[in-house]
Amino acid sequence: MPSIFVTADPQAVPIWFVSVGSLNDVVSRLGAREQIYAKAAGFEGKSGQHLLLPAADGKLAAVLFGIEVADAPVKNAFLPGKLAGILPSGTYRFANAPHDARLAALALALGTYQFGRYRKTRDAGVRLALPQDVDHGEMTRIVEAVTLARDLINTPSNDMGPAELESAAKQVAGQHGAKFRTISGDALATDFPLINAVGMGSQRAPRLVDFTWGNEADPKVTLVGKGVCFDSGGLDIKPDSAMLNMKKDMGGAATALALAHMLMSAKTKIRLRVLIPAVENSVSGTSYRPRDIFRSRKGITVEIGNTDAEGRLILADALTLADEEGPDLIIDFATLTGAARVALGPDVAPFFTDDDALADDFTRTGESESDAVWRLPLWQPYEQMLESKVADTNNVGGSNQGGAITAALFLRKFVGRAKSWLHLDIFAWTPSAKPGRPEGGECQSARALYGLLMKRYGAKA
């Protein structure tokens, strides 16, 4: 996707942000002809309303776009992303300040996204001269990262299996000079039994991607992304309606790669590690079965209560590896439970952590970045739902309630040495288009985490 950001252009068409409270003031700053046109058109400055003002020569003189009043209790900083589907080809600039110029510019850029791998798309030709106080490099790396995640998630599983996901990760690692390795075959079966178990029903072999970047002496931050390239549910097979969108079940891996790209591109002062267990949960004579028992990498025996709860199994072995070096922070991303969607819907990403300070910082950063997250509790009494009569734990709770919490409690069993751990149960999909967020694959929580980690660790000199 071509960048929409350009250097300052004196010929750029001005975009005026207007509210019902500022309408008269803004319109008074236009030319006499444009003032008459705006009045005749009945433009009221309501939130999301727009008006294209023609010049005398038939070209575009200016754009009016409605936003919330300044003292509105809730403001949608991504609302200007709606302009992506409104503006004709040309170069534009912000003539006055919206609620947040940086997020407005970002939303406009992200709103122009198109997935063009399988059909021809047309560049709308919209370009934006960034305000002087907005960092061009920063904006570019964020747009690149979100585009990467969206492209990976939108790619169907026939072209995005474990091998292809490994290649995508290798490309990101190579771009930034990271050290890359893949564990597969007998080594995977021996050292990562849960990852191997989930993937052994597919002809497309499972693997664990592992790459590191940065100075070993810097704070260690490890990202773990669920890479289930397609989830049939296994022998506990999903109904067709639930299986339809399972190409996005590697959305956790895509999000981890997007965040990794941002952090490495910004030269964040951390030693970054990325772990992606990449599998396909398929149905065959070699699929793992309900009531099977496997000994995890950590040594915890796991009874399989449901083969469709596969994501937590592959994450368990990957989290164990991540935890063995006692990093400062482990963050895992997974499209893990339907319960999370029932609780918070598709737009808000629930997260779990025992670190109160981390939770508070993350929530605040999510708000400031318009990247919504919400903390859910690691409610200890629910751990009894995971009890097994024949193994150390079951992979699912004995109830259809509290599923997101019991999944998080299962994962917590495999983290002990890390100073902090953060688990995100993301949806990775926008069901219907919103400003700055076209329908399809979505990169949830990565921008908020990027902002948080940059505040905590800064960039290398």
- Give me the torsion for CA of 111, 116, 118, 122, rounded to 10°: 100
3-state secondary structure of 137: helix
Whether the Cβ atoms of residue 5 and residue 52 lie closer than 8 Å to each other: no
Q: What is the DSSP string of 287-350?
A: S--TT-EEE-TTS-EEE-S-TT--HHHHHHHHHHHHHHT--SEEEEEE---HHHHHHHTTTSEE
**Which residue in the list 170, 204, 238, 341 is annotated as catalytic?**
238
Specify burial of residue 362 (Cβ count, 10 A radius: 0-12, 13-18, 19+): buried
For this structure, is 220 an active site residue? Answer: no
Angle at 156 between CA 153 and CA 158, to 5 degrees: 135
10 Å CB burial of residue 457 (0-12, 13-18, 19+) is middle
230-267 exposure pattern, b = at least 16 Cβ within 10 A, e = fewer: bbbbbbbbeeeeeeebbbbbbbbbbbbbbbbbbbbbbe
CA distances 60 to 13, 46, 57, 65, Å, are: 7, 21, 9, 14
Among candidate residues 207, 220, 312, 437, the one labeled active-site is 312
Contact 135, 262 (CB under 8 A): no
Amino acid letter at 309? A
Quote the CA–CA distance of 168 and 446 in Å, as a whole number: 17
238 counts as catalytic: yes
Rounded CA separation 350/372 (Å) = 9
Residue 309 phi, psi (nearest 5): -100, 55
Both structure tokens of 455: 């505040």
Instruction: Report residue 180: phi and psi, to 5°.
Output: -125, 140
DSSP letter for 268, please: B
278 neighbors 296 (Cβ within 8 angstroms): no
Q: Minimal CA–CA distance to 17: which of 61, 47, 55?
A: 47
The answer to whether 443 touches 258, Cβ cutoff 8 Å, is: yes
Q: Write out the catalytic residue numbers.
A: 238, 312
